[in-house]
Amino acid sequence: MCIPGLSSERRAVLLRRLSLGFAISAFGNVIIGVAGQALSYLVQAYAANLLGDEDYGRYTVVFAWLDVLMVSAVIGFDRSVVRFVAIARGQDRWSEVYGALRVARRSVLVAGAVTTVVLVVAALLVPMDNGLANTFLIGALVLPAWAVFRVNSGALGGLKRVAHGRFLVSIARPATWFGVLWVATSVLELDRTGAMAMSAHVVTIALMVAVSWFVVARSVPRSDRCVEPDVSRSREWRRISAQFTVSSASRVLVNRADILIVGMAFGAAEAGVYAVASRLAQLLAFGLSASNSVVSPLVAEHAAAGNRREVQRAVYQSSLISTASAIVIGFVTLLASDFLLGIFGERFVDGRPIFVVLAVGQVVNALAGPVGIALNMGGHERTNSRILMVSLLIYAAVAVPAIIWFDVIGMAVVTAAIRVLRSLWMWWEVRRRMGVNSSVFVMGSKL
């Protein structure tokens, strides 16, 4: 960072304070992440025991489809709004902050409504058992509200209220879902089905939208809360968000296609076992996810200002956190995997080999650092989209043969291998295009 008028000693002190601030913020997000992952895991285990293998599998399959279809509902604004708001806030242009939020919210509401209609029609026309069809029909209702919640959570990151957004996503949402599930089954005594669990999710997201909207409004300085939104850059925002849509679609498909393929090939119950093993492996990525929330607005600000040194510093600190957490959590979960999987039910212990394979991919992903964030927030979203699209094409070419020849474990191997390929390719592009080494293996002199 170059700050005119400051001595080299003063700049060094300021940089150390910035590093300390990053570490404190990231550590806070790690704590929230740990609590959130633990809570989510326990709530999912509660739901699995509550619903049983078949209905929990139905809920898991529909949720995976909703995660994929969410791409067409948020149309990239859940990620791009972090960049837009962070840059505008950094330059004290609050009317532009409001403008970006207005454009994002209205766009995702329309896109979410259209996606809901398409999903409802598909659920009525495609042959499937009644339990799965009902779960799909109820799940379709959540898409517009869920898209707004994702935008609000992203906006909190851009407003440097990362912990608030992480708390809502990681802790408040699963805790609320648990509460609604408990009331529905223990108080109202509703049938314990996948459709009921999805109805509880709809209620949960509706509550989260209201809370997140309030928190975003309170995160703007009081003196700037009544400014008129500036939407003059709406065309540019939509164009950039479209690039984020492509990358998000490819990323979500690679991350969720394995569950969907297993569900189509072997049924909902087997998909539930695979999904639980995948969820356990995802615990290794929570450090990367937590630090990404902090590093996103920093990379956007510093990359826009041309401060490559600060971009390097931010991604390196993120990489340290993601690598350390992945190694520690990986070791602990490997030792306790039978117990952790058994919480969901005895049958879910069969997913241990799947967990081991997927965990390897998550470790390599953590070692590479915040590569996707660096490309997207640094203005190279097209490169990120291209890498994800090519990865998806390779995935599509080998996934079906792998599951035919090697059963479910073949699906896990392909998923982990694609994740490794994608991470290493992105790492190379970040280094080549931005002059930044996003991994933990960087010389101290570079900082």
Does 57 have pLDDT greater than 50? Answer: yes
Determine the Cα–Cα distance for residues 428 and 435; give it in Å rounded to an integer: 10
In 3D space, the residue among 400, 434, 438, 395 whose CA is nearest the CA of residue 417 turns out to be 395
Which is higher by pLDDT, 29 or 284?
Answer: 284
Determine the Cα–Cα distance for residues 193 and 110; give it in Å rounded to an integer: 30
Average pLDDT over residues 144-173: 86
pLDDT band at 5 (very low <50, low <70, confident <90, very high): very low
Which is higher by pLDDT, 295 or 97?
Answer: 97
Helices (H), 336-351: 337-342
As a dihedral over the C-alpha atoms of residue 65, residue 68, residue 73, residue 74, rounded to 10 degrees, the angle is 140
| Residue 263 CB contacts under 8 Å (≥ 6 apart), including other chains | 57, 60, 61, 64, 270, 271
pLDDT at 29: 60
Determine the Cα–Cα distance for residues 118 and 112; give it in Å rounded to an integer: 10
Determine the Cα–Cα distance for residues 27 and 351; give it in Å rounded to an integer: 31
Which is higher by pLDDT, 8 or 86?
Answer: 86
Does 37 have pLDDT greater than 80? Answer: no
pLDDT by residue (tens digit) across 166-221? 888 888 999 999 999 999 999 888 889 989 999 999 999 999 999 999 998 888 77
pLDDT at 16: 46
Q: Round the average pLDDT of the chain to a whole number and report it.
A: 81
Give the largest CA-CA distance in the chain: 71
Contact 38, 171 (CB under 8 A): no
Contact 143, 70 (CB under 8 A): yes
Average pLDDT over residues 79-103: 83
| Stated length of the chain | 447
pLDDT at 178: 94
Instruction: Read off the tokens for 48.
Output: 């699995």
Does 117 have pLDDT greater than 90? Answer: yes
| 196-202 CB contacts, 8 Å cutoff, 24+ apart | 197/47, 197/50, 197/51, 197/55, 197/56, 197/59, 197/135, 198/59, 198/62, 198/63, 198/135, 198/138, 198/139, 198/142, 199/138, 201/63, 201/139, 201/142, 201/177, 202/138, 202/139, 202/141, 202/142, 202/145
Q: What are the distances in angstroms from CA 214 to CA 80, 135, 155, 161, 210?
A: 21, 30, 12, 13, 6
Contact 78, 147 (CB under 8 A): yes
pLDDT by residue (tens digit) across 319-371? 888 888 888 888 888 888 888 888 888 778 888 899 999 999 888 888 888 88
Which is higher by pLDDT, 340 or 9?
Answer: 340
pLDDT at 442: 59
pLDDT at 300: 73
Does 290 have pLDDT greater than 80? Answer: no
Does 10 have pLDDT greater than 50? Answer: no
pLDDT by residue (tens digit) across 396-420? 888 888 888 888 888 889 889 988 9
Which is higher by pLDDT, 5 or 427?
Answer: 427
pLDDT by residue (tens digit) across 231-275? 888 888 888 888 777 767 777 777 777 877 887 777 777 878 888
Contact 328, 335 (CB under 8 A): no
Question: In one letter, which amino acid is 332?
Answer: V
Helices (H), 306-368: 308-335, 337-342, 352-368
In 3D space, the residue among 255, 304, 312 whose CA is nearest the CA of residue 63 turns out to be 255
Domain boundaries, the chain: 11-446
In 3D space, the residue among 139, 144, 207, 137 whose CA is nearest the CA of residue 172 turns out to be 207
pLDDT band at 28 (very low <50, low <70, confident <90, very high): low
Average pLDDT over residues 56-77: 87
Contact 271, 15 (CB under 8 A): no
Determine the Cα–Cα distance for residues 247 and 374; give it in Å rounded to an integer: 13
Average pLDDT over residues 122-127: 84
In 3D space, the residue among 323, 396, 393, 336 whose CA is nearest the CA of residue 362 turns out to be 323
